[in-house]
Structure 1
């Protein structure tokens, strides 16, 4: 067996492009290990890949899945340990195969490596560039590629947030995702939208919300409800730039020469991020070019309708999240003039236009503020609340575009206005400004606001006094209780209590942070340090936050003498770098002489401390004046115990400040919990009401169901009764049919017997002369030969006629209704009243009688020969045959009537 060729000596580019997938796989593994053990990003192992970045295109999209897995792992190692320059060069080659083959791989490890590679690209490269490379994947023909890319975008925003990765480009393509035919693509689009909502909240909706269907909007609202109450998300992964900044900050915190500066740096890191709104996401729109030329003419019209229509049209143009800066001076002057309009509808629309313009321009609106702010505040005299609300919203928008310092002069001027409506709405506006501002007012502004609030506390109306207390309480929340103390001097306890109530409930964004103790500007400032040794610490120094450094503070008389630390350096003494006096670091400035020492009795013996046995050894802990000048080489063997300043040590002071901060945190937590409790109580009440309503609805539904069941049982009972009646009628009908058939057979048999016995024919005497003989049959009449004018002498040639028909002699004599006809009438009446038995019986009797009467008699001979028909009978055979046909017709009519009666009875049952 031939030995396999060793490819390990080939350079990486050749092995990465080899035809054998096993060689490529081994090359990927070897490259990943080489990247991991490299000392830095400038190692020669990175050079081939930095020179030819297209190697990663084949590695990320290798045709062999096993080799592709190792190729993605090697790419992750390259991005993790390599340089930013290499990541930027390889991005355009590797991102496409990553989302086409890596994200859709069937191997979980390969898919995870693909996700990690994209996150590393965002971490090392510009995030916007990575998003641009991924967006073409959303137009791919394969739905699985689109779904995997959406999932990758969700992971990117989840890890880095919208501050690092701009979401504008993704928000624009979301409507297209929701219109895709594949349900997996739509589901991943929903996940991405929810992740963006966690960061952007309602600010994201203007970008794409109007392009969605109402059903899609409802589904998203349900998903938003689940994350709406969550706290603000935090960034989980950081870019290379952020990592470098954090490393620098970490070194600063561990450096002994920057202990004090580390405290404010950490505070800045923990500061909550600014809110993201639609203005940050939207593209600027040039509204100035869309303003019609007729606006100035219409706004100056004498008809209020024209003025309002012009402002309405302008409002539609300005109603956009972000406006491009332009020449808006003319329309702002028109707004200011409209504030004095006599028609309140014009004033309201003008205020709405000011609001949209200020929100669309933001900082660009600051140059128009002075023209519009005073007219709007003067118009607050309007008593109608809708106008006041529109003006208040416009003023809030102007404040967001400017600052509290810009608007404070107008606010303070309006607080002295004689009109109570103007004063009341201005108070509300000032409170809103204090709550939303992010900048702490300056000392002078604090004084002005406090004085204005104090004056309002003396107003005659309760509303004004409450407004003044709210202003004072909100200001106290910003600057703190201690800084607010001087402004509360002279107020009675009732007013202080009211201010304290507003202080407890106020929610502000800007809070004045305690400033740390600043180090001296120069260690050689001896001329200013000597007088400071005789003065007590100022209030500002006493209010400084505690430091974590356990070094003792100096006694009170020498608290401001740290510059004397330069003296030992002049004498060649080694001063410990971590030795602090008065909570401040000591620094020795080379080339500067030691400051002059001022020795006072108070600096030698502290009345709060017991006498020390060896001042020369403990002098460093008691101040520089306690150190012996004759023996400067003597240094303390160990850090002295912490002396007390007014009975409070450094540790106790630090604990006191910690307790104060903890108290503030607990108060804020209490407020939050109280608000949540109220919210939950309201929800409980609503749920109880809903539960009671549901119980009532359930009871009503149960009663309705029981009523329906009762009706159903009753209907079933009636149905059973009707079925039994129908069955009984059916049996009676069958019985009547059998009876009719039996009677017909008996009649025929009786007539046959009579004929067989040779009964003589009926004789017609002359008594019937000129008289018609009526048969019982209702349809036929028997007439004598004499009456019908027949010359035949035989009596059996009588003609059968219908009742009321014309005789042969032309006479039309009225005839009486025979009995059989009455029976038939009775049959019709019985059909209407359900008297079935009488009807059937009458029909049967009538039919039998008819057959009996119309049957022609037969002649018999005495010799017992067979009866022979008379000649007249033979000659009238046609008439006899016609009679039998008519009899059959009557029988069929009777049967039809019986069937009609059955049908009517069945219809009657159905109506029941």
Structure 2
């Protein structure tokens, strides 16, 4: 047994996986797991056989032996963990179903845990949809413990990944059938799964399956939901491979962004923590057949009750979680007309209809925005709170179906409305839009919103002034303090403080603008002394004429060898090539040159002592050229321009901002190129992996052919040896035959009668072997009997001539000739033992070399033919004997002479 185990350990892993002995399979699973854990990366050759034939895992995860199955599940988990996404996508089609049927119902905790971990890894490495497709059919299995195991696995999957990663709709549709199962364990697991889904979806799960449950079941679930309502919104505990890569990229971002990593992590957590609404789970419903046919006629009625009843019927028809897209132009135009209705109740119900229609269509309602939004904003003049709330909710739904860019023009227009009520409600609407938008406004939009908010700060109504401050604070939350500073330059400290208060309390969903990236490495080298020299020719012209050289710059003066008056033909800045590439012919220096030249011309008639070139403490002209190359640096230069900044400095600031934007665009281009290179690299890596697989397959095929060739050669050698052995046996038989013939030929004529008869008898036996009929047996019997007669006959009884010698040589026996010839006619005495020689039966009993009963049966069946053949053989033998005697007779006279 020990030798067998050593042979099994030498087998390849695929053969051990398919072995009929469960101990061999178990050891193969253990060895595979150990080898997977030692691999350096996903391209290791150990994974190739299992990627090429992924069906090997089907038997491993559903092994008939429990101990082997547990090891097989552990090996499959290691294969998924270390084999990457390719291991998951190629094997999950063979493994998820067997895991659900054999792994999840496993009675041993280790096997059940490994089965659940395998399913979680399949979701983590790629996506959850294929796993659900193979797992949900198990809920219709005949065995209750299989259904309970599948429900428990679904609960673990949703608990780990949440409903953002794993689609809950297929599971919710299958729940009512499971709740009606006869097994209590199945119903208990169904309740656990429903509670887990409620933790993520809250009330959004009810429209999908709640109506299919019995009242008792609904009551039991409501009791369980009460305990969950007090819990906070759950967070995703396990992340997919794509999410892990995104988080790793965010953590590896440059550190110059003032907490960019922390903010990126907060954004990711906020996105994962959002609830899934009913719209994402519901199926589209066609509501057009439910819309009243006489809707437009009723809306044209002069009675407000008829109009309200028509709108109520419309509301009931379109109040569904998700509406199928269709032509709703007429309905939207009718609702827009109802916004001008004199009756408040009609306008309120119309606003409610717009709300549910926009929520049901979502993005499909965007094309109707221009028709309905302006009438609703015009209706905001109503002071009744119920109308204002209905209109505000409808406006929010309309905005959710579009974006800020589409709605901003109308909103800014109504911020200038002469009615304070309209203006106040529009301010509130804009604040809600800024809080809920997911896209950062463009630069022109930022300026428009900031200007509108600044104007609102001067309104006479306190609510509007506070609304303007909240608009600026919310916008600052989206853009950041630094980007918002230019829009707050003209505000006093009280208003700035109020804006900062709203900034600190504002909550937005828009992704913040990415932080400025670090300058390319080639611009990092000129951070020494050379950029200062390159800027010397332009330094005097950049200084304002009215600013005296105070002692303050002397504290920042550069050593004397750099402080001399430079010549106009000084060295170019080391970053000039990059600046010329970004800023055109003049690069970043060109706007400074254009702005600074007029003050230089004015100062030329009255020359004054040149101030220190690097001692300027204010103004952007005193900043070195290389600074803009690193926009992420929090430069000590003043970000907001002072109140007394000259127009030239303001223009220069604008130019520097434009250059900064160019830098940002170039960085984005470089990022896109890098992403393209990464995609190409990934493609090349995939091609390399495919080539490695092909090479491995070819090597295995060559080895198989070589093994077949070696076996064929060994078979050929064995056959050749067998042929040689047979040839030697034939030669030996030929030599024995020749020796027998020579012995019979050399026997003496008189004294060697016994040897002659024995030789003939042996020759007869030699000729008997190839024959299968009875005449050869008869010939042999005749020869033998003749030899016996010749040996026992007295010497005086021999005839004197050759013919008589031939007749008395025992060849004419009853076994060789007719019944009237030979010894059959002789009446010998019993002394010689030939009294019964004519009887075939008696001769067969007395001579063991005679034919057996089986040989005599065909002779007795056909006696005439057998005797005839025996006679022919006898005549042939007689002829040969006569030839031999003749040769001896010819030589005998010569010897006598």
Corresponding residue number in structure 1 for 2:82: 81
Q: CA deviation at 1:309?
A: 3.6
**Bigger shift: residues 121-130 or 501-510:** 501-510
Corresponding residue number in structure 2 for 1:399: 399
- Deviations, residues 127-155 of structure 1 (Å, cap 9, x unaligned): 10001111012222333222222221122
| Paired residues, number | 579
Q: Distance in 1 between matches of 2:140 and 2:379?
A: 54
What SS class does the counterpart of residue 406 from structure 2 fall into?
Answer: helix
Check whether the contact 2:589–2:625 (CA below 8 A) recurs between aligned residues. no
Corresponding residue number in structure 2 for 1:142: 143
Corresponding residue number in structure 2 for 1:21: 22
What SS class does the counterpart of residue 341 from structure 1 fall into?
Answer: coil
Q: Distance in 1 between matches of 2:537 and 2:365?
A: 49
- Deviations, residues 353-405 of structure 1 (Å, cap 9, x unaligned): 21112112222222111110011111223343322222111111011112233
Does 2:312 align with 1:312? yes
Q: CA deviation at 1:330?
A: 1.6
Q: Distance in 2 between matches of 1:529 and 1:202?
A: 67
Q: 1:459 to 1:46 in 2, by over 3 A?
A: closer
Q: Distance in 1 between matches of 2:49 and 2:540?
A: 70
Corresponding residue number in structure 1 for 2:197: 196
What SS class does the counterpart of residue 163 from structure 1 fall into?
Answer: coil
Q: 1:416 to 1:99 in 2, by over 3 A?
A: same
1:762-777 map, 5 Å: none
What SS class does the counterpart of residue 8 from structure 2 fall into?
Answer: coil
1:310-709 map, 5 Å: 310-479=310-479, 502-510=502-510, 515-516=515-516, 519=519, 530=535, 534=539, 564-565=573-574
Query: What is the root-mean-square deviation of aligned Cα atoms in Å?
Result: 5.0
Q: 1:8 to 1:402 in 2, by over 3 A?
A: same
Q: 1:228 to 1:586 in 2, by over 3 A?
A: farther
Corresponding residue number in structure 1 for 2:56: 55
Check whether the contact 1:473–1:500 (CA below 8 A) recurs between aligned residues. yes
Q: 1:24 to 1:346 in 2, by over 3 A?
A: same
Q: Distance in 2 between matches of 1:164 and 1:345?
A: 43
- Deviations, residues 34-83 of structure 1 (Å, cap 9, x unaligned): 33334554544434433433332222122221111111112222222335
- Deviations, residues 175-233 of structure 1 (Å, cap 9, x unaligned): 33444444433333333333334433444443334444566555545555555565554
Q: Distance in 1 between matches of 2:203 and 2:109?
A: 36
Corresponding residue number in structure 1 for 2:684: none
What SS class does the counterpart of residue 164 from structure 2 fall into?
Answer: helix
Q: CA deviation at 1:475?
A: 4.0
Corresponding residue number in structure 2 for 1:116: 117
Q: 1:500 to 1:185 in 2, by over 3 A?
A: same
Q: Structure 1-normalised TM-score?
A: 0.54
- Deviations, residues 779-820 of structure 1 (Å, cap 9, x unaligned): xxxxxxxxxxxxxxxxxxxxxxxxxxxxxxxxxxxxxxxxxx
Does 2:166 align with 1:165? yes
Corresponding residue number in structure 2 for 1:154: 155
**Bigger shift: residues 469-478 or 341-350:** 469-478
Bigger share in helix: 2
Q: Distance in 1 between matches of 2:542 and 2:287?
A: 59
Check whether the contact 1:159–1:235 (CA below 8 A) recurs between aligned residues. yes
Check whether the contact 1:435–1:474 (CA below 8 A) recurs between aligned residues. yes
Q: Which has the higher contact order (CA 8 A, sep 6+)?
A: 2
Corresponding residue number in structure 2 for 1:799: none
Q: CA deviation at 1:508?
A: 3.3
Corresponding residue number in structure 1 for 2:33: 32
Q: 1:537 to 1:354 in 2, by over 3 A?
A: farther
Mind listing any 5+ residue stretches in structure 1 that lack a counterpart? 539-553, 571-584, 609-621, 626-641, 649-912
- Deviations, residues 87-114 of structure 1 (Å, cap 9, x unaligned): 3333232222212221221222111211
Check whether the contact 1:562–1:586 (CA below 8 A) recurs between aligned residues. no
- Deviations, residues 872-893 of structure 1 (Å, cap 9, x unaligned): xxxxxxxxxxxxxxxxxxxxxx
Q: 1:328 to 1:529 in 2, by over 3 A?
A: farther
Q: CA deviation at 1:18?
A: 3.1
Check whether the contact 1:124–1:240 (CA below 8 A) recurs between aligned residues. yes
Q: Distance in 1 between matches of 2:302 and 2:432?
A: 37
Q: 1:212 to 1:384 in 2, by over 3 A?
A: farther
Check whether the contact 1:565–1:588 (CA below 8 A) recurs between aligned residues. no
Mind listing any 5+ residue stretches in structure 2 that lack a counterpart? 544-557, 564-569, 594-608, 618-622, 627-632, 640-897
Q: 1:125 to 1:501 in 2, by over 3 A?
A: closer
Q: Distance in 1 between matches of 2:324 and 2:572?
A: 56
Q: Distance in 1 between matches of 2:394 and 2:589?
A: 62
1:775-794 map, 5 Å: none
Q: Distance in 1 between matches of 2:423 and 2:638?
A: 50
Q: 1:533 to 1:141 in 2, by over 3 A?
A: farther
What SS class does the counterpart of residue 347 from structure 2 fall into?
Answer: helix
Q: Distance in 2 between matches of 1:261 and 1:562?
A: 33
Corresponding residue number in structure 2 for 1:284: 284
